[in-house]
Chains A and B, each alone.
Chain A
Amino acid sequence: MEITAALIWRTLIFTVLTTALACALALLAGTLYASITRRPWMHLSFWRAISSIPPVLVGLLVYLLLSHQGPLGFLHWLFTPKALVTAQFLLALPMAISLCLQHRINLPRDMEEFIDVNLPAKRMNAMLLHLRGGLVNIAFLTWGRILGEVGAATLSGGAIVGYTSTLATEIMYRTNLGQFGNAIAMGIILLLMSLIPSLILEVSTRGQR
């Protein structure tokens, strides 16, 4: 398929929407998990280790689950945006959980006890309020993990141009076709997208300092 401005815009918007949705779901699960757990340090090592799982393995897992012979094949999600978001969610989840747990551990023991004694019934609300303070940072780091990912996106979504292709898979596709100019142009867009969160973080933390 020839590249057009409309296709670039579509791919850009699709990439932002799918990664943002996967990231939001992972953050929701991560904050709830970190709020509920009583001994976060006991869970952190496990989730930190899982965070470094190769993305292509997550893609393979989703592929096997959603393929026609797989246990979830009846959903007919393979090579659709739903499969792509599922893979991105599974990729983002361990990182979101480990970062939320890390932020939770930063709460001093005295404050854990302050909440336990004074607010036993609203403990989860208090933990959510504490986690909210670090959520922007965690969201951007988690988003960065899935934004430029190719392996899991290709295996789960199929990287179908104009349908399930993301900026990252599109760069690979255009490179394979020898359309280096297009690949570089998309690469620059992806680079800018990955830099914007860092810039926002920098500006916001400077404000706090």
Chain B
Amino acid sequence: MVNADMHFAVAGHSYDLTLSLENGLYLVMGPNGSGKTTFLRAMLGLYPSDGHITLDKPIGYVPQHYQPLNASVEDNLRLFGVKSLPPNSPLASKRRLNAMKLSGGEKAVLGLTQVLALNPKTLLVDEITAHLDQPSTIAIENMLRDYSSQAVVLLVTHQWDTLLRLKVPTILFIGERAQLLTAEETYDNLLKTLK
């Protein structure tokens, strides 16, 4: 569960947000610079905010600019206690490779694999699909959707096709407002920004 009654300000915007989220996957959307990343950081206590936030623990977090540590994939996995990988994991054949040499999609999978090994009850993922191709993006989305049966998962994205594929409730940051909307309401609101 995630319960929040919070207020935070960023880049000239000021947001009041009240949330009560059950296990499941939620998107966080909005234009660039609207405060999506800051919202996640405020939830984690990494950015100042007022009010109260309750997150089930353990908490998992994959930041926007996730980079593995400059060591082998194996070392990066071992740090998080990952002993075995599913056979279809793109990392399975690359455990001895330096993790910095992985592709963008593989790095995103590595970051998620590390964090999922902690069995987080709250998982916050910030735009890790931003620079990925469609198959990699869908693979990440599927990983998160599968996991969301046992945790509250928040995925920051500005990709509309992710919203159309997943059709999940979304916290939308537009103008001075941040609100939890259905997928359809979110899509309608995003369309209005084009006019």
Given contacts A110-B63, A113-B61, A129-B75, contact A118 B118 (CB under 8 A): yes
A108 at the interface (CB under 8 A from B): yes
Q: Which of B66, B69, B75, B114 has the most C-beta atoms of chain A within 10 angstroms of its own C-beta?
A: B69
In this complex, which of A116, A119, A125, A129 has the most chain B Cβ atoms within 10 angstroms of its Cβ? A129
Across the interface, do A118 and B61 meet the contact criterion of CB distance under 8 Å? yes
B66 near A133: Cβ-Cβ < 8 Å: no
With contacts A117-B59, A129-B69 taken as known, whether A110 is within 8 angstroms of B64 at the C-beta atoms is yes
Which B residues touch A208, using CB under 8 A?
98
Does the CB pair B71–A133 fall under 8 Å? yes
List B21-63 residues whose CB lies under 8 Å from chain A.
41, 44, 46, 59-63
Q: Does A161 contact B (CB under 8 A)?
A: no
Instruction: Among B41, B69, B80, point to the contact of A118 (Cβ < 8 A).
Output: B80
- Asked if B11 CB lies within 8 Å of chain A CBs, one says no
Residue of B nearest to A111 (CB): B67
Are A114 and B79 in contact, CB atoms less than 8 angstroms apart? no
Cα(A110)–Cα(B69), bound, Å: 12
Given A117-B61, A118-B80, answer yes or no on A132-B71 (Cβ-Cβ < 8 Å): yes
B65 within 8 A of A: yes
Docked-complex contact B69 and A108, CB < 8 angstroms = no
A117 CA to B75 CA, complexed, in Å: 19
Determine the distance from Cα of A111 to Cα of B71 in the docked complex, in whole angstroms.
14
On whether A129 and B79 interact (CB within 8 A), knowing A114-B61, A117-B61, the answer reads yes
- Decide: A126 and B61 in contact? CB cutoff 8 A: no
Tell me if A130 counts as interface (CB < 8 A to partner B): yes
Is A206 interfacial (CB-CB < 8 Å)? no
Inter-chain contacts of B111 with A (CB < 8 A): 114
B115 contacts chain A at the CB level, 8 A cutoff: yes
Assess the B67–A125 pair: CB atoms within 8 A. Answer: no
| Distance between A209 CB and nearest chain B CB, rounded to angstroms | 11
Q: Does A122 contact B (CB under 8 A)?
A: yes
Chain B residues near A118 (CB-CB < 8 A):
59-61, 80, 114-115, 118
Contacting residues, chain B, for A108 (C-beta < 8 A): 65, 67
Q: Measured between alpha carbons, how far is A117 from B62 in the docked complex, in Å?
A: 9
In the bound complex, CA of A125 to CA of B78 (Å): 11
- The contact of B63 among A114, A130, A132, by CB within 8 Å, is A114
A8-51 interface mask toward B, CB cutoff 8 Å, 1 = contact, 0 = none? 00000000000000000000000000000000000000000000
Residues of B within 8 A of A117 (CB): 44, 46, 59-61
Report the minimal beta-carbon distance from A126 to chain B, rounded to whole angstroms.
Answer: 6
Kindly identify which residue among B62, B65, B79 contacts A126, using a CB–CB cutoff of 8 Å. B79
Given A118-B60, A129-B71, also A111-B66 (CB < 8 A): yes
Complexed CA–CA distance, A108 and B68 (Å): 11
Bound together, the chains give a CA A162 to CA B107 distance in angstroms of: 55
Q: Is B149 an interface residue (CB 8 A)?
A: no
Contacts of B89 in A (CB 8 A): none
What are 25 pairs between A and B in contact, CB < 8 Å? A108-B65, A110-B63, A110-B66, A111-B63, A111-B65, A111-B66, A111-B69, A114-B61, A114-B63, A114-B66, A116-B46, A117-B59, A118-B59, A119-B80, A122-B79, A125-B79, A126-B79, A129-B75, A129-B76, A129-B79, A130-B71, A133-B69, A133-B70, A133-B71, A208-B98
Q: A114-B63, A117-B61, A133-B71 are in contact. List 10 more A-B contacts (CB 8 A).
A: A110-B63, A110-B65, A113-B41, A114-B66, A117-B44, A117-B60, A118-B61, A122-B79, A125-B79, A130-B70
